[in-house]
Amino acid sequence: MIKELPGERPHCLDPRWSTTRRVWRTKGEREEDSGRHRDGALAAADRKAEGSATRGGLRTLGYEKRSEPDRPLISVVTAVLDAEATLERTVRSVIEQDYDNLEYIIVDGGSRDNTVPIIHRHQSAIDYWSSAPDEGLYDAMNRGIELARGDLIGIVNADDWYAEGALRLVAQTFLERGEAVVHGAMSMVPADPGRRFVSAAPERLGKLRKGMVVNHPTVFVPKSIYRKFGVFDTSYRIAADWDLMVRLWRAGVRFCPIPRVLANFSLGGISYRYDRRQVEEKRLIRVKNRICRGRDWHYLADRMKLSLPADWLIKATLCKQRWLAGRNGGRASGKFACARRGEKDSRCGE
């Protein structure tokens, strides 16, 4: 946390966006200069859009975000590559939140379509962005985590988007519960957007032995936990997010579920499709984290799924979610609770 100097105060650069309502100059400024800085920052960001810059944002113009006692700083990272069709929706879902102590970072892997121009268009509301080749999705996520300065870090990729008011709920939960992984329910959106179903925030984390039951677009991990337990293992190309969740659960990190939809997930992403690479990665992760008890029946079940049509698997998942929603009165199941591996409470994940 950056120590405040006497007389310093946050500035509102643009009241329209959550990322520009509460910013600080990296050096002290006079009271009468605040209007000039506000107009100058937005104009400078717009000027960069005219060039061929490969990085930009408010941070490069001398602005920063700070954690405050009653306003934890939330950092959101978007890793993107050639996502011109969906990035706009993702960006707007972040900058239009109603929580104003928010830092937004976009890491582009060197897109060749119109992704970078879309970033340029919004960079006056983005804290930092860069565009350069990387070693894959999880390498880009790790870069974003390294750049983030928030107390809590969320990752929303370019195919997904946050629900309204999601980050305010996350901040409130973090203030109440302290150092814990905050996560929530997620709306699963198939190709037909009229038929979406809710994937609840799990209360029994023992299901992580089977696969990624935590809804990753809704996950917010404290920066202190990343420092303590590490980031994504880039040796995994598809299931590194699951590996991270398993590692944190096995280490006894608390998970606090929110029984509300925090994000929307587009079905059909790389980690959602079943293929042999994903099945083999999951087997290696179970072995590495020692979550197999005797024969790995989950691996055998995954192998069987390889023989089934992908569309059938998606339909089966949606039918299951619809049944669960009906059983719970159309709501995501779950209560405000912290699940920790080894606790006696039934929600501990065993």
pLDDT tens-place values along the chain, 350 residues long: 334 433 478 999 999 999 999 999 986 443 334 444 445 554 554 444 444 458 999 999 999 999 999 999 999 999 999 999 999 999 999 999 999 999 999 999 999 999 999 999 999 999 999 999 999 999 999 999 999 999 999 999 999 999 999 999 999 999 999 999 999 999 988 766 566 778 889 888 888 888 889 999 999 999 999 999 999 999 999 999 999 999 999 999 999 999 999 999 987 544 455 577 777 788 888 888 888 766 666 666 666 666 666 666 666 666 665 555 555 554 444 333 444 444 433 222 33
Nearest CA to 150 out of 120, 124, 182 is that of 182
* Res 48: pLDDT: 44
Nearest CA to 83 out of 52, 107, 114 is that of 114
* Res 13: pLDDT: 95
Instruction: For residues 277 and 267, give the distance between their C-alpha atoms in angstroms, rounded to a whole number.
Output: 19
Best CATH choice for the domain 1-161 from the list 3.90.550, 1.10.10, 3.40.50, 2.40.128: 3.90.550
Strand bridging mode 102-108 / 128-131: parallel
Question: What is the per-residue DSSP string for 84-127?
Answer: TTTHHHHHHHHHT-S--SEEEEEEE---SSSHHHHHHHHGGG-S
Strand bridging mode 102-108 / 74-80: parallel
Which two three-digit tokens encode residue 65?
């975000």
Q: How buried is 251 (Cβ within 10 angstroms: 0-12 exposed, 13-18 middle, 19+ buried)?
A: exposed
Q: Does 163-350 carry CATH code 3.90.550?
A: yes
* Res 52: pLDDT: 46
Instruction: For residues 163 and 218, give the distance between their C-alpha atoms in angstroms, rounded to a whole number.
Output: 10
Around Cβ 58, how many Cβ atoms within 10 Å? 25
Contact of 73 with 151, CB cutoff 8 Å: yes
Which two three-digit tokens encode residue 286?
């179970």
* Res 342: pLDDT: 43
* Res 145: pLDDT: 98
* Res 46: pLDDT: 47
**Residue 105 bridge partners (DSSP):** 77, 128
Measured in degrees and rounded to the nearest 5, phi and psi for residue 240 equal -65, -30
Nearest CA to 156 out of 203, 89, 109 is that of 89
**Residue 186 bridge partners (DSSP):** 199, 263
Which whole-number Å values give the CA distances from 56 to 38, 41, 50, 177, 350, in the listed order? 17, 12, 12, 35, 46
* Res 9: pLDDT: 86
* Res 273: pLDDT: 54
Instruction: For residues 205 and 215, give the distance between their C-alpha atoms in angstroms, rounded to a whole number.
Output: 12
Which whole-number Å values give the CA distances from 316 to 269, 302, 305, 313, 324, in the listed order? 17, 14, 12, 5, 12
Residues 6 or more apart in contact with residue 234 via CB below 8 angstroms = 135, 136, 138, 139, 142, 240
Residues 6 or more apart in contact with residue 192 via CB below 8 angstroms = none
Contact of 348 with 266, CB cutoff 8 Å: no
**Could you tell me the pTM of the whole model?**
0.81
Strand bridging mode 181-189 / 197-199: antiparallel
Contact of 120 with 128, CB cutoff 8 Å: no
Residues carrying CATH 3.90.550, the chain: 1-161, 163-350
